[in-house]
Amino acid sequence: MRFTLLDNKLIPEPLLSTHKRYENKLSSLFPLFHFKHLPIQPLNQTFPFNKKMQSFIAGKQLTLAEIPFSLKTIHHHYEQGYLIYRHGVYVKDKKFICGRCRNQHQQKFASFYCIRCRGRCTYCRECVMMGRVSSCTPLISWIGPTPTRDFAKSPLCWSGTLSEGQRTASECVVRSIQLNEELLVWAVCGAGKTEVLFSGIESALIAGKRVCIATPRTDVVIELTPRLQAAFPTVTIASLYSGSSDFHQNAPITISTTHQLLRFYQAFDAVILDEVDAFPYSVDETLQRAVHQARKKTSSLIYLSATPNQKWQRECRLKKRKFITIPARYHRHSLPIPYFAWCGNWQKQLTKNKLPQNILNWIKTRLKLNKPTLLFCPTINVMEAVRLLLHKFQIKVEAVHAEDPERKEKVQLMRNGDVSMLLTTTILERGVTFPNLDVAILGAEDPIFTESALIQIAGRVGRSADFPEGDIVFFHFGKTEAMVNARKKIIEMNRGGIQRGLIDK
């Protein structure tokens, strides 16, 4: 879209005819990136602004295509100082920068002839999956009064009891949210991190703050939403992931994938980032920028992780990062320790339509015991080969991976007890919980199974207080440093839990 500047106001081309002296401006129409500074209008406090628009846009950065209001209504709010236009893509020091995702890698921009601005236009390829943002695209944000939120009494309805380790961490979370600080909660898998957040979220809501729980994975958003809704039944909760229907909600609590945060701009007073070490967030600078851009300038940021990277662990040891550890599960039982089982050249055996005998025996034992079982495979091809082999033995299994359109349904079958065994890639290494579970890894020496991934996979076992133990085995064709270190870290966490009196010997 092209704009002109009239009386220090941007005027979009489709609305130019409604302004006096517009004829003199027809030759002064330019794409938005032509204007280095985009003027902001003074706030007219007597203006009867559209509250539905306020609710929809506040805390976001949206393109015109994403806003269900007319250009005339949008621009009228801009003229009254309630909205601003921001650059979609602009140039600084002869380099393109994306206003939405802050991408500055020049190879991730592309140009095309644009009908809207009638010239050469450049768009960002880094965030194009969220809808194209180009050099003539305005990003629209709300700068008027924010929607009011008033919780006269505590909105938390949870009657559970925190363990000693959880309670200490919960107090740190509350304090960090109140003081707008950053905090890492370093907690073992199954420590009950969600419950640790409840008091912090409660204190934020009572203070009128807006809270976001962000996570890299859709599965985790879907699992967390009903748990948070049960704890805060009177609070509106928006659940955001690709295909969700809650995008229009301006909710006190938002549970979102990190990808969806690209649409937010200085929205949240408290951001809780779950699984900070998880792919793709851990390796994607765009998602990391999205989290920081979604925060208000004065806000808190709580990181949750069972497996922080080496850099963060070193910062914690050197006291350069504020953190609290929960080295034990809430049910006071030790973390199940994985054991290693050599299975020979399993890849060669698969090419001969065979499965190593010790793996087959392990699977058959699980089925006899009627134990829910996960078998992790390094690739989809390996997983499919194993599935076909098990079918020959009349063993009923399902297989899931990241691109499986029926993944949610298959996981639910496992929860319901309709399927006792799931084959999976690393997609289920985190974010899912099954009681009384046994777990094995085929080809644990594969590079896909990093130290972090192995700890997370082992953490699927023994999470329930009713079933605090279980089998976790790494079938391998040669031990790796990652395998040895993962086992060592789990043993160290158990030792730390015992020393702090959080584990019953």
Q: What is the pLDDT of residues 61-79, one digit of tens each?
A: 999 999 999 999 999 999 9
Distance CA 161, CA 199 (A): 12
Confirm if 78 and 41 have CB atoms less than 8 A apart.
Answer: yes
Tell me which DSSP letter residue 121 carries.
E
Residues 112-160 pLDDT 10s: 999 988 889 999 999 999 999 999 999 999 999 999 877 767 899 999 9
- List of domains in the chain: 2-142 (no CATH), 164-326 (3.40.50.300), 339-499 (3.40.50.300)
What was the pLDDT predicted at 52? 95
Instruction: Give percent of the chain with pLDDT exceeding 90.
Output: 83
Non-local (6+) Cβ contacts of 217 within 8 A are: 257, 275, 278, 430, 431
Distances (CA, A) of 80 to 3, 41, 304: 18, 7, 41
pLDDT at 23: 55
Position 19 confidence tier, pLDDT thresholds 50, 70, 90: low
The Cα 411–Cα 174 span in angstroms is: 34
pLDDT tens for 78-100 read: 999 999 999 999 999 999 999 99
Q: Which two tokens stand for residue 53?
A: 């628009």
Burial track 238-261 (b if 16+ CB lie within 10 A, e otherwise): bbbbeebebbeebbbbbbbbbbbb
For the stretch 235-280, pLDDT in tens is 999 999 988 989 888 999 999 999 999 999 999 999 999 988 887 8
Q: What is the pLDDT of residue 361?
A: 96
pTM for the model stands at 0.89
User: What is d(CA 428, CA 219) in angstroms, rounded to the nearest whole number?
Assistant: 9
Assess contact for 392 and 367: CB atoms under 8 A. Answer: no
More confident position, 20 or 183: 183
Average pLDDT over residues 384-405: 92
Structure tokens at 247: 């995008």
109, two tokens: 């921009």
pLDDT band at 179 (very low <50, low <70, confident <90, very high): very high
195, containing H or E segment = helix 193-206
Q: Residue 94 — left, alpha, or beta (φ > 0 → left; ψ -120 to 50 → alpha)?
A: left
- Per-residue pLDDT band for 220 (boundaries 50, 70, 90) equals confident
Question: pLDDT for 460-490, tens place per residue?
Answer: 999 999 999 999 999 999 999 999 999 999 9
